[in-house]
Chain A
Amino acid sequence: MSTLTPSTTATGDRPRGPRSAPPRPKLRRSSPRRRRRWFGALAVAIAVVWAFPVYWMLNSSFLPFNRIRSPEPTFFPVGGTVAAYERVFESNFLSALRVSATVTLITVAAALLFAFLAALALSRFRFRGRRSFLLAVLIIQMIPAEGLFISQFKLLEGWQLLNSVVGLSLLYVAAVVPFTIWMLRGFVNGVPRELEEAALVDGCSRVQAFFRITLPLLAPGLVASGVYAFLQAWNEFTLALVVMTRPDNMTLPLWLKTFTEANRASDWAGIMAGSVVIAIPVMIFFLFVQHRMTSGLVSGAVKG
């Protein structure tokens, strides 16, 4: 868990040797600098290509009708308009936003709580069945919604939970919890048990030690897992499609699909504005926690 170990902590003696700091060997000064520059240009070019769809979404969303439907594409929204955004808010966007927000909130809260408890048990205790449970979690995590949604549909139908926020949240929590357990367990493992034990020796109760020592150290892990759950629930499409069959219960992704189908022939600016409105908050969120997301996702693979 490289995220948790501060790289420059006091380890008693201060680093003396010159080799402790420089990360890259300076030996290959001989290799031509021009090649490096060429690679740099290539990297920038690829970045532009990769980011282009995102830029195009923004650009198109500001264009008026006559410029979006013209034989020559407009590459910069100079003199653009926000009329497309007004058309988005005139549709039933807000009702979809409400559904999505509720489902996401329930999912994040429940998944975090349940997974946190489970991660504590798995990381801090040795008990019979622990190893099997971990393996089961790993395998369950891989069960694809696409292989199970038929009977999940029947299940919710039987419980009168079709088209309900609760029903969809239940499926989301179950979908998110295994990975969240796995991720949080890694973070809990990263908090040295000795810290807790030191606190116990110093007279803390077990509960105090947990709240004063362990929990604060786990905050990054909780944030990362919470964001993961948030992104999953906010962006999920398949299960929402299966469960939310009525138009007034659409989540945002379903709304975007319906909105696109309704306006494909006439209003691409409006459709792009809808995409922007859905994407931008998620992207900002994602960019803020990206580093933790990556290290969390990779932590199963790379031992820090």
Chain B
Amino acid sequence: MPPSPTSSASPAGPVPAGAPSAGAGAPAGGGKPRRRREGLLPYVLLVPAVLVLAAALGYPLVRQAVMSFQEYGLAQQFGQPPQWVGLDNYVELVTDSYLWTVIVRSVVFCLANAAITMVLGVALAVLMTLTGTGPRLTLQIGLLLAWAMPHLASLTVWQWLFEAQYGVINWVLVRAGFEQFAGHSWLIDQLSFFVVATVIVVWMSVPFVAFAVYAGLTQVPGELHEAAAIDGASAWQRFRAITMPLVRPVLLIVGLLQIIWDLKVFTQIFVLQDAGGVTAETNLIGTYIYRLGLGEGEFGMAAAASWFMLLLTVTLSLYYVRVLVREEEL
């Protein structure tokens, strides 16, 4: 904390350490604020976390802003000083139709994946409430196994499942009568590449949604349902009038998280691209930035492109934070 220098009498000014900081502190929380002679202590406790965040996130953010206004390519990698080019990087990106292709593709991919994940996750959560203990535990264990898998291991397994010649998925499809899948390479065609990516992303993300929503559903007090049932409400009416309003905050937050996560999806696409996808046809924002910066050495351009990514996700995140803050007292 900056040791507030001159604040002897000014009523609204920064409050010196130790003095009761009622005006500023009280509206923050709902609890009983404790005001002792604590002064600097809370700020000292925050120092390590703040330092790490400043070094590893804050400084790069500034650096990224600066770099996006510079010509920073391969020549600069080898020691030439970067040149200021003003908005050139941005102009070049915005007028480049490929960036827009990538952005549209990312948004579509994100919305499709988030929607499928939410629908499946909520359906499975509801299913858990409808079955007995045995089947519910079985389902939960199945989901947990998928959730617990490290992403890279999952991606590797799915590559093997979708393998053209010996993969079990093609085998099943051929067995089911779809002869055209004999030896079918899933990753070469753009659409089927994204089908594979979607299957993997959904498979990974549904468990979290299902568990979170199920936790929300079980927090709905049974007495409410009981009372409504006695009053003659049908199951559907009870679901709509009691369950939904109580679970909606969870749905909103989980849904927002899905959108944010699916927008920045990188690992799945990157690994699948290296496993046989056509890069230019399958880039999403994340992989596009990577290929541009670390692949081609166009750091200035990549820094500028990163801002599109940041802008998109941070805007969504601000909304998410607003929802979260409304739910929870800080």
Which positions in A face B, CB cutoff 8 Å? 2, 19, 22-25, 27-28, 31, 36, 39-44, 46-51, 53-54, 56-57, 60, 68-73, 110, 113-115, 117-118, 120-122, 124-131, 133-135, 138-140, 142-155, 170-171, 173-175, 177-178, 181, 193, 234-235, 237-238, 241-242, 252-253, 256-257, 260-261, 264, 268, 271-272, 274-276, 278-279, 282-283, 286-287, 290, 294-295, 297-298, 300-304
Contact = CB atoms under 8 A, between A and B. Distances in A.
25 contacts: A24-B222, A50-B146, A57-B153, A73-B171, A114-B48, A121-B43, A128-B21, A142-B321, A144-B264, A146-B285, A147-B289, A147-B313, A148-B57, A151-B61, A152-B60, A153-B294, A170-B56, A171-B56, A235-B150, A252-B152, A256-B152, A260-B156, A278-B153, A282-B148, A286-B147
B143 A125 contact: no
B41 to A, nearest CB: 7
B186 interface: no
Interface in B274-311: 274-275, 285-286, 289-290, 293-294, 299, 302-303, 306-307, 309-310
Given A122-B46, A237-B267, 9 more contacts: A47-B139, A57-B160, A117-B46, A126-B33, A131-B330, A155-B59, A171-B56, A237-B271, A286-B144
Nearest to A277: B153
Interface in B255-283: 260, 263-264, 266-267, 270-271, 274-275
Contact of B153 (A51, A118, A181, A275): A275
Nearest to B65: A151
Contacts of A271: 156, 160
Contacts of B235: 28, 31
Interface string B18-29: 000100111011
B56 A174 contact: yes
B73 interface: no
Nearest to A234: B150
A290 B56 CA distance: 29
A51 B34 contact: no
Given A25-B226, A272-B160, A51 B141 contact: yes
Given A53-B146, A142-B313, A150-B299, A73 B168 contact: yes
B87 interface: no
A287 B148 contact: yes
Which 7 A-B pairs rank lowest in CB-CB distance, beginning with the nearest? Answer: A47-B142, A174-B56, A142-B317, A40-B135, A286-B148, A121-B45, A151-B64
Secondary structure call for the A interface: helix
A233 B154 CA distance: 17
Contacts of B240: none
Contacts of B159: 260, 264
Nearest to B15: A128
B111 interface: no
B138 interface: yes
B160 A235 contact: no
Given A125-B42, A142-B313, A60 B160 contact: yes
Given A144-B264, A154-B299, A302 B215 contact: yes
B189 interface: no
Contact of A297 (B28, B212, B271, B275): B212
Contacts of B118: none
B181 interface: no
Contact of B142 (A48, A294, A295): A48
Given A47-B138, A125-B38, A275-B153, A178 B25 contact: no
B82 to A, nearest CB: 11
A53 B48 contact: no
B166 interface: yes
